[in-house]
Amino acid sequence: MVSKVFSVWAVLGLVLATEGVMGRSIAPTDSVVASRHDPDIKVTFRETHICETTPNVKSYSGYITLPSISADHQHYKANIFFWFFESRASPRTAPLTIWLQGGPGAASSTQIASGHNGPCIVQPDAVSTTPNPWSWNRVSNMLYIDQPVQTGFSYDDEKGVFSSEDPRRTVNTTAAAARVVREFLDVWFQEFGQYKRDSINIWSQSYGGHFAPAIASFLLPPGKGNTGVYRARGHKDAGFHIGIDSVGIINGVVDLAIQAPFYPKFAINNTYGIKTISDEAAAFATQRMIQPGGCADQAAACREMQQRYDVENRGTNASVNGVCAAAFAFCWANVYGVYEAVSGRNPFDIAHLLPDSSPSVYGQEFLNNERVRKELGAKVNFTDTSNVVANGFIATGDFVRGYTSELASLLDAGVKVALVYGDRDYRANWLGGEAISLALRHTSHLAFAAASYVDITTNTSYTGGRVRQQNNLSFSRVFQAGHEIPYYQPQTAYEIFARTLRGLDVATGTVDVTLRGNGSYRGREYSTASQFSVDDVKAP
């Protein structure tokens, strides 16, 4: 969920020594285009020549400026930053993938340059870069969006070199974020229509377990098999819609009530034999989960209040916000938080003691380099993690409002769903991720539960993990990976992503599992089958 916050401002003094290291100085200029539908909506962008250096592969950065929308409770101007990269292979026909980092309030741009899934890897000098051989734009056009506003390079109003830091001038729920992303995409496709496809892919990480299913459900056209979770919650069908081909979630928090019981379990019984807390501490956390008035009861009370008084998850009902925020505070402190209080270990990687310097901060320092910001056309300093945004979501208890119903609805609409969990992460651990996969009440949930686990063949010499898959739904446990899987296991993460987009089985990439529009599959229905258990592999 809320990512580690790093100090990145000290690098500004490096810029004078960088001439010739990051590439030629191209003094780019912005193109400013007004929307055909609203002159107050603007697209400001430029072609970039840093990070992605593959010949003839284009990239663009810029802003979509959305005006105040009083009907949607947005009483401020939002300048949403994006960075787009063409696919290195056939960009005119390649699919389009939207990448949304979690947080809430974590910048998507960080993943571009951090050795995650973007085109470049920033080196220890925080200035020079090398190509990422496992960048996801090997197979897809990639659009990274810094959202919500006040995250990354996105801002409302400039206050010097920062956004306003005003908590009233950003969104405070996942549903509100989904509306803004929909408006963003509606405008973005008007200017970049050559990259629009009948269906797009939405992949995310961490709090993306909320963002990805919410945004995908909001975008999916009515009448396309969408059972309409959002419409059932009172959302209107008016507005921009587009098909969804796949939704991918990496170490995501989808539903805290389902995942929270696995915090104490994972802390003392993970497959690495690392007992991170005592049995007594684990028993304390478990008791706080199940006791009368504990985490489970408070989460249920939040859901009941939300369904009665805030059906659209707007976060505007003070009573609902109070109940849900109290539930989150109790669960976080008494169930999740026991590990952080006593383990002395990184919550994003149980194999690492604190303080921990990985993943590195080089990418964040790179993005806050003055020359890089100028080349990107960024109007404010880079904020890797926005506490203003995070605190807004905490105040509404958005963390407790789950998104399993949306994922089930997407599956029944024929959308491919990939749940991918690194097995060294505590914060969104794979035991809780597996529980999410089994809790999705889509039409094939019994068949999915009956499937077993098989190896993920990353290449001819390496097994990257285990996967359970039944047609369009896959759950992968990736070996030796913390919270940000592509950083730890770049090729395995890439193969899972590429195979999912191509409609192939995650295990081998050789079996077509694509769902046709009439509800049938191109071949026989696919289910993984073996004698493996997902938890029988100890640490190498």
pLDDT of residue 524: 61
pLDDT of residue 12: 25
Q: What share of the chain is helix, strand, coil (3-state, %, to 5)?
A: 35, 20, 45
Query: Average pLDDT in the 400-428 region?
Result: 97
**Closest among 432, 413, 435 to 423, alpha carbons compared:** 432
Instruction: Provide the pairing of β-strand 59-66 with 42-47.
Output: antiparallel
- The position carrying tokens 């377990």 is 209
Q: Give yes or no for residue 287 having a pLDDT over 50.
A: yes
pLDDT of residue 368: 92
% of the chain surpassing 70 pLDDT? 85
Query: Average pLDDT in the 230-256 region?
Result: 78
Task: Tell me the C-alpha distance between 523 and 512, whole Å.
Answer: 7
b vs e for 383-398, b when ≥16 Cβ sit within 10 Å of the residue's Cβ? Answer: bbbbbbbbebbbbbbb
| SS3 category, 326 | helix
Distance of CA 203 to the CA centre of its chain: 6
Query: Average pLDDT in the 50-68 region?
Result: 93
pLDDT of residue 238: 59
| SS3 category, 144 | strand
Q: How many residues does the chain have?
A: 540
| SS3 category, 99 | strand
Query: Average pLDDT in the 327-346 region?
Result: 97
Query: Average pLDDT in the 364-375 region?
Result: 93
Q: Give yes or no for residue 273 having a pLDDT over 50.
A: yes
- 297 counts as catalytic: no
Contact (CB, 8 A) for 208 and 418: no
Structural tokens at position 215: 């945004």
pLDDT of residue 17: 30
pTM score, two decimals? 0.90
Catalytic residue among 206, 246, 343, 527: 206
Q: Average pLDDT over the chain, rounded to whole? A: 88
Q: Residue ranges per domain, the chain?
A: 1-540
Query: Average pLDDT in the 219-227 region?
Result: 68
Query: Average pLDDT in the 391-395 region?
Result: 96
pLDDT of residue 230: 43
- 108 counts as catalytic: no
pLDDT of residue 359: 80
Q: Give yes or no for residue 21 having a pLDDT over 60.
A: no
Structural tokens at position 528: 């993984």
- 483 counts as catalytic: yes
DSSP 76-97: S-EEEEEEEE--SS-TTTS-EE
Query: Average pLDDT in the 323-334 region?
Result: 98
Catalytic residue among 425, 437, 444, 476: 425
Query: Average pLDDT in the 92-119 region?
Result: 94
pLDDT of residue 157: 80
> Residue 214, Cβ neighbours under 10 Å: how many?
27
Sign, CA torsion 267/268/270/275: positive
Residue type, 523: G
The strand pairing partners of 51, in sequence order, are: none
Q: Give yes or no for residue 416 having a pLDDT over 80.
A: yes
Task: Tell me the C-alpha distance between 432 and 8, whole Å.
Answer: 32
151-183 pLDDT per residue, tens:
999 999 877 787 878 888 999 999 999 999 999
pLDDT of residue 276: 97
Query: Average pLDDT in the 381-385 region?
Result: 93
Task: Tell me the C-alpha distance between 177 and 243, whole Å.
Answer: 19
Q: Give yes or no for residue 2 having a pLDDT over 60.
A: no
Catalytic residue among 235, 349, 483, 505: 483
> Residue 220, Cβ neighbours under 10 Å: how many?
26
| pLDDT category of residue 9 using cuts at 50, 70 and 90 | very low
> Residue 71, Cβ neighbours under 10 Å: how many?
5
The second-level CATH assignment, the architecture, of 1-540 is: 3-Layer(aba) Sandwich (3.40)
pLDDT of residue 20: 31
- 106 contacts: CB under 8 Å, gap ≥ 6: 2, 3, 151, 206, 207, 384, 385, 386
| pLDDT category of residue 83 using cuts at 50, 70 and 90 | very high
